[in-house]
Amino acid sequence: MDSVLIRYHEIALKKGNRPYFTELLKRNLLAAVRDLGVKEIRSLPARLLVTFKSEIDTQIAIQRIRTVFGVANFSPVERTARDIEVLRTRILKSLNGIHFASFRVDTQRGDKTFSLTSPEINRQLGAAVKEKSGARVDLSHPEFTVTVEILPQDAFFGFDKIPGAGGLPVGASGRVVSLISGGIDSPVAAYRMMQRGCRLIFVHFHSTPYLDKTSQEKVRQLVTALTRHQFLSRLYLVPFGEIQRQIVAAVSRPLRVVLYRRMMLRIAEGIGRKERAKALVTGESLAQVASQTLDNMSVIQQAASLLILRPLVGMDKQEIIDQARRI
């Protein structure tokens, strides 16, 4: 396999701004697979074609491209001559050892001067696949899909569509500062904001020297995992133990967590201004804990003037856990 066909969905709805989003997607795809030897990334109607200099490990390419936000789905494809007989022969050869009960052929002609129309190509190739496999044709819910692309210089074919990460390319929506702990909520909040095109700067508040460095190591692991989606991350580790000690000494227990959160937002906002971020991101979910009631959240957010984004605010704990497992 030396090429991958990338399909996007939400970007296609951008109309006048579409070139901006597609260029960002190209840049992020290149960052994901550059070391595999990319020859070019070509723009096609509603999709991109990534071509490599030589055959590559398909599974490695799949793992990398799955992490790129903005990709709706994709297919590893093989390059062949723009000839229906060559296409038929190559497709049938590639089907050896593959079993399926139903299928469809989906052809897109990037070159309308090709002698056959898309439906004609579908019929001819579909008849050959049906004869070889014995499978039935199902245009609505096929178990297996043969994808064909006809371009001015080449033709490509591949099998099935692999789900992508969806959303918008990282960088499309600007920079934000994400407050991240060693728990589940804040990494899921960070993931959801990256999926909406934000580039994240991470801030973690730790209690060293009053507690060990366990939380710092955990956060480093989480940021490393999330960096697969934006390829480069910056993590600020903020010592917060002394601030906590002073609050404990001066404030009654019911108010402490609210003051902790206000101080965290003030510090995060300072980092955000330095990083030219447009917003702060937290993992708060309404009424999940005492500090996340409407009253307390309202008081906490008054400590910062930057916009505060709470992508988990309407999710319950099980929904957050389920998404964390999928991530």
Query: In the chain, where are the structural domains located?
Result: 3-163, 174-326
Given this chain, do its domains 3-163 and 174-326 carry the same CATH topology? no
Mean model confidence pLDDT for the chain: 91
* Fold adopted by 3-163: VC0802-like (3.30.2130)
- State the Cα–Cα distance between residues 80 and 83, nearest whole angstrom: 8
pLDDT class of 263 with cuts at 50, 70, 90: very high
- Under the banding of pLDDT at 50, 70 and 90, the label for residue 173 is very high
Average of pLDDT values for 316-326?
A: 90
Residue 311 corresponds to which tokens in the numbers above? 């992508």
Give yes or no for a contact between 165 and 66, defined as CB atoms under 8 angstroms apart.
yes
Across 127-146, average pLDDT: 94
45 or 8, greater pLDDT: 8
Looking at residues 158-187, what average pLDDT do you find? 93
pLDDT at site 152: 83
Mean pLDDT of 15-34: 92
- With 0.85 as the threshold, say if the pTM is over it: yes
Give pLDDT, residue 189: 96
Q: Place 282 in a pLDDT band, splitting at 50, 70 and 90.
A: very high
CB 176 within 8 A of CB 201: yes
Classify domain 174-326 at the CATH class level: alpha beta
> Residue range 48-55: average pLDDT?
90
For residues 105 and 125, what is the distance between their CA atoms, to the nearest angstrom? 7
The pLDDT of residue 229: 95
